Amino acid sequence: MFKSYKDIFNQRGVYYHQAMVKYPLARAEEFNNIIRLSDLQNNQIICDVPSGGCYISNFIQQNLKIISIETSSEFIKDSQNTANNTI
C-alpha cells in the first residue's frame, strides 16, 4: 500500500502523464473551474501544488508567473520549465 502522494505518483506518474498527453482535455472542466474561481489577473505569481505534469498551465490565458511544486520524481522528469512556469 502506498503511504503518500509522492509514493503513489512515483509508482503511477508515468502512466498518468501518458494519459494526459494522449487526452489533454480530460481534466479541462476541473482546471477551468479552479481558474475561474481564482479570478487570476495578469502579472500575478501563482503556485501550483502539487503540479503533476504542470497541466494547468495549458489552460491559463493570463500572463502569469507560475511556480510549480511537485514531490513525485516521475512527474518532475516529464515536466518542463517554460517562459512562465518554473518547476
Q: Are 14 and 50 contacting, i.e. CB atoms less than 8 angstroms apart?
A: no
Residue 1's pLDDT is what? 61
pLDDT given at position 33: 97
Summarised one tens digit per residue, pLDDT across range 20-76 is 889 999 999 999 999 999 999 999 999 999 888 888 988 999 999 999 888 888 777
Name 68's bridge partners: 48
- Domain with 34, as residue range(s), is 5-86
Cα distance between residue 67 and residue 31, in whole Å: 16
Provide the number of structural domains found in the chain: 1
33 backbone dihedrals φ, ψ, rounded to 5° = -65, -45
Q: Give the pLDDT confidence score for residue 85 in this predicted structure.
A: 63
- Overall pTM surpassing 0.95 (yes/no): no
